[in-house]
Structure 1
Amino acid sequence: MLKSPLYLRWLALFAGALLLAGMVTPLLTLTRLWLFDDRLSILGGIAQLWVQGQYLLFVLILAFSVLLPLAKLGVLIRLLTLSGRGSPATRRILRLMHEYGRWAMLDVMVVAMLIVTVKLGVIVSVQVHYGLYLFAAGVLLTMLVTRQTVNWLERDG
């Protein structure tokens, strides 16, 4: 498997595209009482939390499921383009992101979906859509890029 910085940068960009696509496309459709359908995307669900006055949940889910994962990818791409790749500070930042990233993107996304589902009522049928798979693929690819970047920096440093 190629592990060049250019390869990792392209993978990080692709992961970002998958994450963005997963955020705007429908994740699931919730049918309440067999009559009312609600199609949810991540950004649509976050907007709904704002409209309903759930400001704390809005901020938490926006931060951990949207802003920080995208910021992590930006920092990864930046680290891959730095000339001082082997510095201890670079490695510390990368390890911190790697440890944080596993928790932030997957667990908070699951919790967010559970919160939205529970808030919609007791009698709900859930149909999963491709947005969930796009977002999950983006999360997994981000984890892979982070791990490969750690390996590349350790080998280079």
Structure 2
Amino acid sequence: MSQPHVEHGTAGAGEPALRMWSWNGLLALGDNLAVRAGWAGQDRAASWLLSARPSAVPSARRMTAVRLNAWGLHEQAAIADRLVGELVGEALRHATGKIRLALWVEDGLLRSEAEDLGARVPPALPRHNPLLDRLACCWGVAGRIVWFELLTSERH
């Protein structure tokens, strides 16, 4: 996992300047550490609240890859990474508040949802997305939620 960018310099009047990590970067780092330590990842469900900032997309993609690899879904991880980036990017274009990203595995399906938690009326979202059409087994829009599903080899 790449390290967040921290700049050192001077802010003026001899004061050192230090740019701090974004909320989304800290969230991704914390999730990665929790999965590596075994504190998260076994329950096959996860959700995060992302700030509606450009860093939401790469953070969401990192957390998705880490979590799916922890769940043993290596084949789905690369595809889900791209699709989660698309979902969060779409939510970010319309977001007025935080974005909730959720992943879970159930009955042979990996499902991901991105939801704009803002207060305003949801915009009309596109009903056609070439990337989702091509890579997801199914996807859709429900209010402020955009979702997709991928097949896994697990059937219970």
Higher normalized helix content (fraction of residues): 1
Bigger relative contact order (CA 8 A; separation at least 6): 1
On whether the aligned pair clears a TM of 0.5, the verdict is: no
Which protein has the larger Cα radius of gyration, Structure 1 or Structure 2? 1
Give the alignment's TM-score, normalised by structure 1: 0.32
Give the alignment's TM-score, normalised by structure 2: 0.32
